[in-house]
Each structure stands twice: as C-alpha cells, then as structure tokens.
Amino acid sequence: MKRFLFWLVGVAGLVLAQCAWSAEKPVLLVFGDSLSAGYGLPAAQAWPVHLGKILDGQGKNIQVINASVSGETTAGGLTRFPQALKQHKPGWVVIELGPNDGLRGLPLDKAKANLVAMVKQARAAGAKVHLIGMQLPPNFGPDYTKRFAGMYGEIAKEQKTGLTPFLLAPAINHADWFQADQLHPTAQAQPAIAAMVAKDLAPLL
C-alpha cells in the first residue's frame, strides 16, 4: 500500500511538473491575414501550424499561436494588436499584414505607419519581431506594386526586424498550389511556406 502511495505521489508530481512546463512554454505569435489564417483550409493545415511542428522537430521549446484573421488590414490589425500582446505575452511576433491594404489600393504611407506602430508595440512588450512581406499582381501598376513590395524591406531595415520578403515565394511557380481564386495557397503549399519562414526566423530564435 505504501509503495502504491509513493508511486501515486510521484506520478502526480510528474504531471504537475509537465503542466507547469507547458504553461511556461514561450510563445511565438503569428499575427496576419487570410494568408496566415489558412483561408479555405482546415485550421490545422495553415502554415503556422506546420511552423510549430518544424520548431518541435528542432527541439525548440516554443508554442506557436496563430492569431491571424481573414480580411485583416494593417489598420484593423493595429486596433486588435495590443489585446493580442496582452493575452498571449509572446516572446516573438511574426507580423504578416498589408496584402489587403494593397488589394484595396489604400495609401502605402498609412500601411507602413501601421506596421511600424505594431513593431514598436511588440518591442515594448518585450518581443522580438519578424516581418513577412508580400507582392501584388501587376495590374495595380508598376509604381504602386514596386513601392508595396519594397515597403517591408524598408521597415525591416529601419526597425531592425527579421524579414521574409515574400510569403508566397515557395508557391509562386506552382500554379496547382493555389486555390481557385489564384490568391490563397492550397494545403500542399503550406509546409513549404512554413519551412521558408522557419529558416528566416532562425536568427531570432
């Protein structure tokens, strides 16, 4: 009976220790739009989920939380960002926003200001920041598309953040890796996107 009680106490202690370890697991927050939310896919197939698996496979004790919302603009993201920081207390923040600003032809100086504000808020909360850029279809005109794509590099250089220049780079040459709208990647593309982001994130981790 005594042996059983000692065993039971030992098991309970181990479970409590594991729970405490899980609760203290540092957070990497992915904060983006439909491209990161996994639009048109089950949530478990979005690239941030694959990123978490990659980090687990590398032995990194990091919990990836995907707080992305389809249709989000930089203005909308800036509005909900403080609450996300307060709720999740991330050690790292990956910001993937701006495509919806671009597709709506919104002023790029405002989009840039919103992204910079989020970078500064994340830093103030103690998080390291990685920025993910995008490119627009050519029908938006050469000047606007060039300034849009260059915006992310400018912010990364000015604010000294990590940078992935183009989220869809692994998929862009695979027509079958896009859904019918030709904008959102399929489930097949997600692991490749996650692998690229994981590689770019490595210096911050």
**What residue type is 133 in one-letter code?**
G
Beta bridge partners of 129: 93
Which residue in 36, 70, 181, 200 is the catalytic one? 181
Q: Is 145 helix (H, G, I), strand (E, B) or coil?
A: helix
Q: HSE on the CB side for 75, CA within 13 Å?
A: 9
Contacts of 205 (CB under 8 A, 6+ apart): 55, 60, 62, 92
State the DSSP H helix or E strand holding residue 151, giving kind and residue range, or none if neither: helix 142-159
Report the 10 Å Cβ neighbour count for 121.
17
Q: ∠ CA 96-73-159 to the nearest 5 degrees?
A: 50
Active site residue 22: no
Which residue in 50, 88, 130, 184 is the catalytic one? 184
Active site residue 70: no
- C-alpha 132/C-alpha 151 separation (Å) is 11
Which residue in 33, 34, 88, 101 is the catalytic one? 34
Active site residue 181: yes
Catalytic residues: 34, 181, 184
